Amino acid sequence: MRFSQYLVTTSKEASREAECVSHQLMLRAGLIMKFAAGIYSYLPMGYRVLARITSIIEEEMERIGAQRLLLPFVQPAELWKKSGRWESWGEELVRFKDRKGADFVLGPTHEEVITQLIKQQINSYKKLPVIVYQVQAKFRDEPRARGGVIRAREFLMKDAYSFCQSKEEAKVIYEKMKEAYQRVFSRCLLDYRLVEADTGTMGGEFSHEFIILTNSGEDRIVECERCGYVAKLERAVCITDEAEKGERKPVKEVSTPGIRTIKELSHFLACQERKTLKTIFYETDKGLIAVLVRGDHYVNEEKLRLLLKAKELKLASDNLTRKEIGAEIGFVGPVGLDRNKLVVDNTVMQGKNFVTGANKKDVHLINVNPNRDFEPTLTGDIRFPVLGDSCPLCGNETKIKRAIELGQIFHLGEGYSSSLGATFLDKMGKEKYFIMGCYGIGVSRLLAAVIEQNYDKDGIIWPKEIAPFQAVVIATSPDTARAAEGAYLRLKKAGIDTLWDDRDVSAGTKFSDADLLGIPFKVILGNIFLKEDKIEIKTRRRGEKEKVGRNGISQRIKELVKDAE
């Protein structure tokens, strides 16, 4: 490809819009162009990378026997009504009517559609198991798009679905898929982690997520740098420290006029936030519940819901709380709440002499102690971890870091097949629901993720497997322009994806652009060529240089590509 004719514009300056490294570099290197919040075009250079990632995915999917297909982007609402997700998804699901007034959605994911397809296509165990996948645009009307293609509303996704006869068979495929994902991410040169995940709106029985650690990430994880424990913040187990030592002092009322928040309280009484307690009311299908966590902690509502075995759980309104305890918000405490269920976080049970609200306006209690001043109905781990919590595996101090999710795999079970009535006949002639799994990779997001882990001050450093071009030919003087064209033609003939920088710009510009674009090998024809009749090769990643005769250029680049990262 001739650079002068290629639809790419590079830029020295970063766009004001872009905050994170990958977003800035993608804009500067001319990979993408924004049309609206979270809606992007991929320019030829960006599309080349997408195509290469897609072909890696295709190879790894085919390796485990998955079959590629293509499902509709626009889906009839009927299927979503059957699965229940017409109601359970909020505004993220884009809904519209066609000219006849029929409801449709823009596909944010394809469990419904694929289940319907398999239901009609497969009636017998003889065709099972089956794994299918596609690479397609998805649309999710996110409340807030961010980080360029890290969280876009329209994005490219690889989604795979498996249909099995039994849970055992499904687990085998789940493991195969996990390995395939590991190969895909390794080939993209990603330093990823595998963590347990919640099943969220997909439903299902268990799930794993592949993530990379980076400051541009939007998810938070807990990591132990000693033993390598990594977990999503909401999944991380909070272990309880040893019981605090010391005397239990007598409870005393203190006047705290107008002091409502934990911050104000700890400031006013000159105590640490960890010495205070928060009392929060939740409305649940099991009634109104009082929940107690330390002042410096936050309630993990999902953990709480599981502990209570509740279906519904939401924060009680201020009015309801006020009515229940007859006191102002900000002065709520556990002492004397006998008629309410009281769920207490483990950490609270280990502490002594806490400050809490007195359930009276402008009054707090000091020296409140669990099992003396209040009795929990239930105790458990119901909080999010905080910086410095002990690692649940080795006890070392943990850190909280940011991460990007690359992909997630779910064991779904029978959820979708039962709601959509998708069955097959087993060996005994008995009708059974398909056991399903679904597996996603954010393909467009992978571009950003790879850049987050492969760049330097000069620009992107593409791993060879997904580089848009393997080599860029640069003539640094008009005198070597013809020879450069010759080298370009040789490389092209040898089947090497090569960009020929035939622009009439300075050598410096060509070098800078080659670096920004992240092309693994620069093939340079300049002074050295004129003096020694040698072509110079410079690697992007390590900056290593070597000289080679003009006849050996294709052969040498092939060798270098083979050995490169």
The three-point CA angle 100-101-106 to 5° equals 105
Q: Does 377 bind RNA (CB under 7 A)?
A: no
Binding-site member from 189, 288, 507, 548 for RNA (CB under 7 A): 507
CB 373 within 8 A of CB 335: yes
In the complex with RNA, the residue whose CB is nearer, 38 or 437, is 38
In the complex with RNA, the residue whose CB is nearer, 7 or 36, is 36
Binding-site member from 371, 396, 506, 551 for RNA (CB under 7 A): 506
Count CB-CB contacts under 10 A for residue 421: 11
CB 180 within 8 A of CB 60: yes
Token representation of residue 132: 């299918």
Q: Does 37 bind RNA (CB under 7 A)?
A: yes
Distance of CA 536 to CAs 210, 474, 516, 523, 529, Å? 40, 10, 19, 6, 8
Q: Does 12 bind RNA (CB under 7 A)?
A: yes
* Rounded Cα distance, 312 and 36, in Å: 36
* Rounded Cα distance, 379 and 345, in Å: 6
Binding-site member from 60, 159, 501, 536 for RNA (CB under 7 A): 536
Binding-site member from 146, 193, 352, 361 for RNA (CB under 7 A): 146
* Rounded Cα distance, 523 and 538, in Å: 7
Q: Does 41 bind RNA (CB under 7 A)?
A: no
Token representation of residue 316: 């009680």
- In this structure, the chain runs to a length of 565
In the complex with RNA, the residue whose CB is nearer, 38 or 385, is 38
* Rounded Cα distance, 437 and 164, in Å: 9
Q: Which stretch binds RNA (CB under 7 A): 98-106, 175-183, 358-366, 501-509?
A: 501-509
CB 565 within 8 A of CB 463: yes
In the complex with RNA, the residue whose CB is nearer, 233 or 271, is 233
In the complex with RNA, the residue whose CB is nearer, 159 or 345, is 159
Per-residue binding string, RNA, 473-492, x by CB under 7 A, is ---xxx--------------
Binding-site member from 30, 46, 147, 357 for RNA (CB under 7 A): 147
> CB of 113: closest distance to RNA in angstroms?
17
Per-residue binding string, RNA, 541-560, x by CB under 7 A, is ----x---------------
Q: Which stretch binds RNA (CB under 7 A): 45-53, 94-102, 125-133, 201-209?
A: 201-209
Binding-site member from 111, 209, 223, 373 for RNA (CB under 7 A): 209
Q: Does 140 bind RNA (CB under 7 A)?
A: yes
Q: Does 318 bind RNA (CB under 7 A)?
A: no
Residue 245: Cβ-neighbour burial (10 angstroms; 0-12, 13-18, 19+): exposed
Q: Which stretch binds RNA (CB under 7 A): 55-63, 322-330, 365-373, 528-536?
A: 528-536
> CB of 76: closest distance to RNA in angstroms?
21
In the complex with RNA, the residue whose CB is nearer, 372 or 542, is 542
Per-residue binding string, RNA, 286-315, x by CB under 7 A, is ------------------------------
* Rounded Cα distance, 547 and 550, in Å: 9
Q: With CB under 7 A as the rule, give the number of residues binding RNA.
A: 64
Binding-site member from 174, 462, 488, 511 for RNA (CB under 7 A): 511
CB 419 within 8 A of CB 82: yes
Distance of CA 262 to CAs 258, 279, 294, 329, 331, Å? 12, 11, 10, 12, 10
Subset of residues 430 to 469 that bind RNA, contact rule: CB under 7 A: 440, 458
Q: Does 198 bind RNA (CB under 7 A)?
A: yes
Q: Which stretch binds RNA (CB under 7 A): 76-84, 199-207, 326-334, 426-434?
A: 199-207
Q: Which stretch binds RNA (CB under 7 A): 62-70, 136-144, 361-369, 492-500?
A: 136-144
> CB of 100: closest distance to RNA in angstroms?
28
3-state helix, strand, coil in the chain (%, to 5): 30, 30, 40
Closest listed residue to residue 22, CA positions, set 557, 460, 563: 460
Backbone angles phi, psi at 97, to 5 degrees: -110, 145
Q: Does 19 bind RNA (CB under 7 A)?
A: yes
* Rounded Cα distance, 197 and 306, in Å: 15
Q: Which amino acid is present at 129?
A: P
Closest listed residue to residue 103, CA positions, set 119, 79, 129: 79
> CB of 183: closest distance to RNA in angstroms?
21
End-to-end Cα separation, the chain, in angstroms: 23
Q: Does 527 bind RNA (CB under 7 A)?
A: yes
Binding-site member from 78, 169, 219, 324 for RNA (CB under 7 A): 219
Q: Does 16 bind RNA (CB under 7 A)?
A: yes
Contacts of 97-102 with CB under 8 Å at 24 or more apart are 102/76, 102/77
Q: Does 111 bind RNA (CB under 7 A)?
A: no
CB 193 within 8 A of CB 222: no
Helices 21-28 and 443-453, axial angle in degrees (round to 10)? 100
Q: How far is CA 232 from the centre of its chain?
A: 10
Subset of residues 72 to 91 that bind RNA, contact rule: CB under 7 A: 90
Q: Which amino acid is present at 24?
A: Q
> CB of 362: closest distance to RNA in angstroms?
26
* Rounded Cα distance, 418 and 83, in Å: 9
> CB of 338: closest distance to RNA in angstroms?
30
- Where along the sequence are the contacts to RNA (CB under 7 A)? 9-13, 15-17, 19-20, 23, 28, 34, 36-38, 90, 92, 140, 142-147, 197-198, 200-202, 209, 218-219, 232, 234, 405, 408, 440, 458, 476-478, 504-509, 511-516, 522, 524-529, 536, 538, 545
